[in-house]
Every structure is written in C-alpha cells, then in structure tokens.
Amino acid sequence: MLNKSGRPILACITAQSACQKIIRTGLDMARHLDTALQVVTVQPKKMEAEQRAEAMKCLYQLSKDTGCEITIYYSDKPAARLAQHALENDVMHIITGAADGVNDFVSQVSILTGSIPVSMVGDGIVCTMPAAMTLAGAGGSDYSRTSRVSRTTA
C-alpha cells in the first residue's frame, strides 16, 4: 500500500500469479492520482487444506513481488464482501481482472457500490465501467468521473 491520504484505489485479486498485472495497474493509477492502493482478495470460506496453502503461498509471493500488503477475506459472497470493503474505505476506483467467459462478479460489484467506477484489466487492455452516479463536481479526477466505457492499453 502506498502511504498516502485521501480516497484509495482498490485492487481486487485472486490467488493467481497473473494478478500481478492488476496490482501493477492499481499502483500506476494510485501514483498518478497521488493516493493509496489497497489490495484485497476474497477467498471461499471452505477450501481443501492443500488448496488453501497454495493460495496463501501465491498471495504471499504477489505481496513480496509488488511490495503491497494484501488483505484477505473469507466469504462465499465475494462481490458483496468486496463492495462492503470498498464502501467502508471510501475507495475512488476498483480494479479487477477481466473474466474469462460469463461472470457477473463485476456487474454485482458495480451495482452494490453504485458510485464507484470499476476497471477490468485484461491482456494489454483496461476497460472501465462507469459508476452508476458520477462524482462530477466533487473534485474527483478523470479516473473517478468516467462517463462511458473506456478502453486503454495497459
């Protein structure tokens, strides 16, 4: 996490080494906006011990490689838990990975958080879903006032 004040950026990851690009995108955005980055993962409550150990090993390595602290939650409702964290911490922007195939995680997060834009990091591209209510006039940056879906290269 960058030691800054103000509304943080939130990167939501899974226990996969490929999530490093999500964290790096979050770090870039946080530096650009001179704010903090929070990194969270929501793991299932029930998981085989070997799977849990592998997930923790991967998350530890991601933390070590990026220099970020990672908050780990255990919930069987990951979108709701992420949204709760985002709202409690007054985040300005959420960054996740792009889903392979049909996945309504990002839609659920967007609905539950309302006024927080969500960006999905894919292979060389970042797609942003606008917030339900924009922060125009609230002194937010261009990142927090997205008025349409935007695509930029990562």
Give the pLDDT confidence of 109-128 residue by residue, as tens digits. 989 998 899 999 988 788 88
The helix/strand/coil state of 12 is strand
- Continuous segment of H or E residues that includes residue 60: helix 49-66
Domain locations in the chain? 9-153
DSSP state of 7: S
Radius of gyration (C-alpha) of the chain in whole angstroms: 15
Using one digit for the tens of pLDDT, what is the confidence trace for 85-110? 999 999 999 999 987 766 688 889 98
83, HSE (Cβ side, Cα atoms, 13 Å): 15
What CATH class does 9-153 carry? alpha beta
- Flag the least confident range among 3-7, 28-32, 38-42, 110-114: 3-7
